[in-house]
Structure 1
Amino acid sequence: MASTEDKAAKQESATGWKDSFYNPRTGEVLGRTGSSWALILLFYLVFYCFLAGMFALTMWVLLLTLDDYVPKYRDRVPYPGLVIRPNSLDLSFNKSDPLKYVQYVKHLESFLQRYNDSQQDKNDDCPPGEYFLQDDTEDMSKKACLFKRGFLSLCSGLSDTNFGYSEGKPCVLLKMNRIIGLKPRGDPYINCTVKRDTPIQMQYFPSEGRIDKKYFPYYGKKAHESYVQPLVAVELLLTKDDYNKELPVECRVEGSDLRNNDERDKFLGRVTFRVTVVE
């Protein structure tokens, strides 16, 4: 049987454990009186309100330094990347099975909606070969030069709604990323090559894959709301000897000061993709 001293020790231990939460003799909760808890809660309330106020003031001052139309810092992305449409770096399909390439056709058709005549007729027919400069205009909203999907000829989806995929001669659209204020020197154009010994015939739209200077500079999403990037369409004129083979294709921006050989960024001024057509 437990001794009287053991029972007293257990009772004292239980009482001490309960008193650590609430002590009825002093009125303390977790070691603090009501006034002590009120003071410490008031301190933290004031402290965190001060921090929130400092954060809001800092953000307000920062926003005052920003321009709604032009980013303050633009030096981190001086050169554009090259983007491919359909949005896939591995184009593989059976030309005899529409279900195998319908996803590519739908993607191209959806992407080209902004290039329809109904949309582009609102833009200006700018003179070719010259930058469309609008820096001196007082109006912050800038005009845009039209680029109709008809400029892409056989790859426009107008005469051939399958963009050549049903014939095993797929079309690929290329565009450069938008960079505010970019004015490429020279005469930029897109050139594509297949990494193998024997070349593959390709057809470019517009002619020779040219990117006209009139589509530069770009003034930003808010100022240039109706702007669309100029496109270059490449139709791969594959033959039966090219079917059932994986063909690596690389396209680059040539003829200008735009960089296309940075090993740290494989998409800077260039893009590489694979095409496999099954007969």
Structure 2
Amino acid sequence: MAKDSEKKTCGQVMSEWKEFFWNPRTHELLGRTASSWGLILLFYLIFYIFLAGMFVLTMYVMLLTLDDYKPTYQDRLATPGMMIRPKGNALEISYNSEDTESWDLYVQALDNFLAPYNESQQIMNNKDCTPDTYFIQEDAGEIRNNPKRSCQFNRTMLGNCSGINDRYYGYPDGQPCVLIKLNRVIGMLPGKDDQSPYVTCGAKKEDSSLIHELTLFPKGGMFNLMYFPYYGKKAQVNYSQPLVAVKFLNVTYNADINVECKINSLAVASPTSERDKFAGRVSFKLRINKN
């Protein structure tokens, strides 16, 4: 145990700290002379300049491998994803057919989503293509065939779900329309043997008795081949994504109905995993209340 006489006073400790911070006898700052600090700072300056140079060089080399119009590497799923409009909260469409406020937001969402599909917009921006065949637009070697044209998808193709003849999309009548879209995948050719992929919809097994009748637009619920392949947002600036509309004509009121829509194609792998609920299918809940 140290003797009391060996213990340092507070003044001595402070004096030692002051001398460590700046020693007037040796001209040392924090225990180092000016030349020592200069060498350390020079070392770290060179070190970080070297790291920054390596980072810039790496980024430059990587950017040289990128294509502005097409991904250099594309690790896509064998089955593209699907989504609905309107999607509501947590993919749930729930409303009271006799309460305008409960379904008005769905109608507005569909109006906004379908605005670019108006006939005037489609005629102005897109090409009238030949149905049932891929719209291939290849580059001529190093010469880019850009911007690439897109095929017209007029909202009138959605029949009673176009919002033209029925501006409320059937919601107040208890016959709502839901739009299905297939996620864009660059270069995907989803058809096989000249067969276009098509959508099927229905209630899940436990709710199979709650949907009595539905219909799909365009006829057969097809994504026509002429809308494929997709060349990317920059190369195909006016691309109009094809849609399928499902209209529920007769469902059980005041009940939660779990609906599932799937893509069917010989060239697209069928969804097999329950972990990815949007690969080749989309599930949502439909509830139509009526007083």
TM-score (norm 2): 0.89
Question: Is the contact made by 2:79 and 2:270 (CA closer than 8 Å) also made in structure 1?
Answer: no
User: What corresponds to 2:263 in structure 1?
Assistant: 253
Identity within the alignment, %: 48
13 and 146 in structure 1: CA distance in 2 versus 1, 3 angstrom threshold:
same
Q: Alpha-carbon deviations, 1:51-107, whole Å to 9, x = none? A: 111100110011011111110111333431111111231111111111111221111
Question: Post-superposition shift, 1:7?
Answer: 9.2
**Residues 189-229 of structure 1: per-residue CA shift (max 9 Å, x gap):** 11001122424211111011011101111111111111111
Question: In the alignment, is the contact (CA less than 8 A) between 1:78 and 1:179 conserved in 2?
Answer: no
User: How far has the Cα of 1:256 moved from its partner?
Assistant: 2.8
Pair 1:128 & 2:128 matched: no
Moved more, 98-107 or 254-263: 254-263
**Could you tell me which residue of structure 2 aligns to residue 277 of structure 1?**
288
Point out the more displaced range, 257-266 or 167-176: 257-266
Does residue 68 in structure 1 map to residue 68 in structure 2?
yes
Asked whether the equivalents of residues 107 and 168 of structure 2 are also in contact (C-alpha less than 8 Å), the reply is yes
Distance 1:243 1:33, change over 3 A: same
**2: distance between equivalents of 1:13 and 1:98?**
80
Q: For residue 43 of structure 1, report the CA deviation from its aligned partner.
A: 1.4
Which runs of 5 or more structure 2 residues have no equivalent in the other structure?
none
Is this contact kept in 2: 1:246–1:275, CA < 8 A?
A: yes
The answer to whether the 8 A contact 2:253-2:287 is kept is yes
Distance 2:214 2:164 in 1: 20
Aligned-pair distance for 1:187?
2.7
Residue 118 of structure 2 is aligned to residue 116 of structure 1: yes
Q: Which amino acid aligns with 2:37?
A: W
* CA contact 1:79–1:179 (8 Å) conserved in 2: no
In 1, the alpha carbon distance for the partners of 2:267 and 2:55 equals: 43
> Which residue of structure 1 lines up, in the alignment, with residue 250 of structure 2?
238
Greater Cα shift, 54-63 or 193-202: 193-202
Q: Give me the whole-angstrom Cα distance separating, in 1, the residues matched to 2:100 and 2:196.
A: 38
Q: Does 1:98 align with 2:100?
A: yes
Could you list the per-position Cα deviations for residues 230-249 of structure 1 after superposition, in whole angstroms to 9, with x for gaps in the alignment? Answer: 0000001135xx11000110
1:268 to 235, 256, 279: 279
TM-aligned CA deviation for residue 259 of structure 1: 2.4
Structure 1 residue 9, shift from structure 2 partner: 4.8
Instruction: Give the alignment's Cα RMSD to 1 decimal.
Output: 2.0
- Is the aligned partner of 1:146 residue 2:146? no
1:81 aligns with 2:81: yes
Say yes or no: does 1:173 pair with 2:179.
yes
Equivalent residue letter for 2:54: M
The 8 Å contact of residues 79 and 271 in structure 2, kept in 1 or not, is answered as no
- Opposite residue 256 of structure 2, the aligned amino acid is E
